[in-house]
Amino acid sequence: MAHFTKLTPEEKRVIVQKGTEKPFSGKYEDFWEEGTYVCKRCGAVLYRSKDKFDAKCGWPSFDDEVKGAVRRAPDPDGIRTEITCVACGAHLGHVFKGESFTPKNIRHCVNSISLRFVPKQGYGKEN
């Protein structure tokens, strides 16, 4: 059984109630340390810093996820594709295809508040 971290009201609004943080407000939007991004709610490994890129969209962007870590489902808006943590169902954001930002041609647009960063050994403290 997954261990859930106690969430603040704002974390709960985004992660559980499927909200969105304001663009350019998240702590990982302009953050380039080496390491791993894990689910804020359960700690499952989701993304690696090597797959992060600057899409200039206001949220952290990744062009790949850790295999098997992220679930895709049609968003209730009928247009976008929602991404959630496979381990606990936490709302992460949305995934977009065909924008040509990277050779992989995919962008995981993730709320910083849905993530916790774990630095690579020897690369400083957690943020």
Bridge partners of 47, per DSSP, are: 37
Listed in sequence order, the DSSP H helices in the chain are 9-15
The predicted model gives 104-111 an average pLDDT of 97
Kindly state the tokens that stand for 106: 């995919």
Contact of 102 with 16, CB cutoff 8 Å: no
Q: Which fold has domain 27-119?
A: 2.170.150
The Cα–Cα gap between 122 and 66 comes to: 22
Instruction: Return the SS3 of 1.
Output: coil
pLDDT, one tens digit per residue, over 27-39 is 999 999 999 999 9
Find the catalytic residue in 39, 85, 88, 109: 109
pLDDT, one tens digit per residue, over 60-86 is 999 999 999 999 999 888 899 999 999
Pairing of strands 70-74, 91-97: unpaired
- What is the pTM (predicted TM-score) of this model? 0.91
Catalytic, 109? Answer yes
State which H helix or E strand residue 92 sits in.
Answer: strand 91-97
